[in-house]
Amino acid sequence: MDKYRIAVIAGDGIGPEVIAAGKQVLSGIAELDGGFEVEYTEFPWGCEYYLDKGEMMPEDGLEQLEGFDAIYLGAVGYPGVPDHVSLSGLLLKIRRGFDEYINLRPVKLLRGAPCPLADVSCEDIDMVVVRENSEGEYANVGARLYPGTEQEVALQTSVFSRHGCERVIRYAYELAKAEGKSLTSISKGNALGYSMVFWDEIFAEIGKEYPDVPTQKFMVDAASMFFVKDPKRFQIVVTSNLFGDILTDLGAAIAGGMGLAAGANLNPERKFPSMFEPIHGSAPDIAGQGLANPLAAIWSVAQMLDFFGREDLGSRVIAAIETLLLEKRVLTQDLGGTAKTHEIAPAILEILKR
């Protein structure tokens, strides 16, 4: 029997609450399926670990994670540790260190999920955002000059490499081709005359290899407007690291909220483990109260199952989430219910067993 070894970094704030639910669902599915086992190894890394040890994870953290089939991550960052320290010491280190250059973020309005937009149906909001995840605006190259003086300067340089742009854009074309969907590139060539013009050129160049994939391109400002005014324009979307970050919180807002938005950080070559996580943060405002919605974390379990080649099970998890939303019996507060975080996984498993 296949055994999947999963490294769990529950992390900070609501991370441990939602990850507990996701693990329960994954273990329950393994049991129902009978065809594979899962084994979790917990890593207590995060802000508390930092306050104790002075680092977000041990120096050999990546080596410790390297042999796993997947990483399941909750959230990183908490008041008390500066965000740039906590995130660059853990989440971003893993994304970069394991060359997880694809960040796959579905923006799909399930039936029963709340949507703040007027006159849209579920079919209208059904996209996958392919976010570049290894460089771009997040390369974190820069400097501070003359700190504390009137001449103080901060420099932050984006890095757009041909290799980096080509591989994410090609991945998105392949996905659009495989699914028979259109591909939209979102950039900002009118103002960012080096990086984004380069991106646009590569999008056009690679497009020649995919004459059957219908394409469009938008500036990120117009794209944000269309996410709200006319989301059905978008099917597969490819964009840079920062634009993808911002657009997928907007995507979450139109597709049920932060409690439903999942993301997979993929190393498609499988040279390194890929990482699955809800896209939300540690939500300090609701942490420790049982208010967190674990459906995003559960949805990222579906993405993990897809990545393991069990798309059949991944789809069943999404279908179970949809049933839960439609039945409205067991939902957390953000979705208009009164259930606590820990009640969601058992409800999902009950649906899966029907």
How far is the C-alpha of 293 from the C-alpha of 303, rounded, in Å? Answer: 17
- Listed ranges 98-106, 214-222, 264-272, 283-291: which one lies at the site for ligand NAD (CB under 6 A): 283-291
279 binds ligand IPM (CB under 6 A): yes
Q: Is 138 a catalytic residue?
A: yes
Query: For residues 252 and 260, what is the distance between their CA atoms, to the nearest angstrom?
Result: 7
Contact status, residue 297 vs residue 19, Cβ threshold 8 Å: yes
Question: Which of 188, 217, 306, 334 is the catalytic position?
Answer: 188
Angle at 100 between CA 94 and CA 103, to 5 degrees: 110
Q: Are strands 2-11 and 36-42 parallel, antiparallel or unpaired?
A: parallel
Indicate the residue among 204 and 246 with the shorter CB distance to ligand IPM. 246
Q: Is 171 a catalytic residue?
A: no
Q: Biggest alpha carbon distance in the chain?
A: 67
Residues numbered 200 to 259 that lie near ligand IPM (CB under 6 A) are: 245
Rounded distance, CA 74 to CA 293, Å? 12
112 binds, among ligand NAD, ligand IPM, Mn ion, none (CB under 5 to 8 A by kind): none
212 a catalytic residue: no
Q: Please confirm, yes or no, whether 245 is among the known catalytic residues.
A: yes
Options 31, 39, 63, 83; binder of ligand NAD; rule CB under 6 A: 83
In the annotation, is 249 catalytic?
A: yes
Q: Which of 221, 229, 230, 232 is catalytic?
A: 221
Q: Cβ-count burial of 345 within 10 angstroms (0-12 exposed, 13-18 middle, 19+ buried)? A: buried
Choose, from 72, 101, 138, 171, the residue flagged as catalytic. 138
Residues whose CB is less than 8 angstroms from the CB of residue 119 and which lie 6 or more positions away in sequence, other chains included:
none
d(CA 125, CA 100): 26
Q: Which of 285, 336, 338, 353 binds ligand NAD (CB under 6 A)?
A: 285
- Binding residue for ligand NAD, selected from 274, 334, 344, 352, defined by CB under 6 A: 334
Which option in Mn ion, ligand IPM, ligand NAD, none does residue 324 bind, with CB closer than 5 to 8 A by kind? none
- Closer CB to ligand NAD, residue 16 or residue 281? 281
User: Is 296 among the residues that bind ligand IPM (CB under 6 A)?
Assistant: no
Taking CB under 6 A as the rule, does residue 135 contact ligand IPM? no
Can residue 296 be called a binding residue for ligand NAD (CB under 6 A)? yes
Size of the site for ligand NAD (CB under 6 A): 23
Dihedral of CA atoms 325, 327, 332, 334 in degrees, nearest 10, equals 50
313 contacts 33 by C-beta, under 8 angstroms: yes
Question: Which are the catalytic amino acids?
Answer: 138, 188, 221, 245, 249
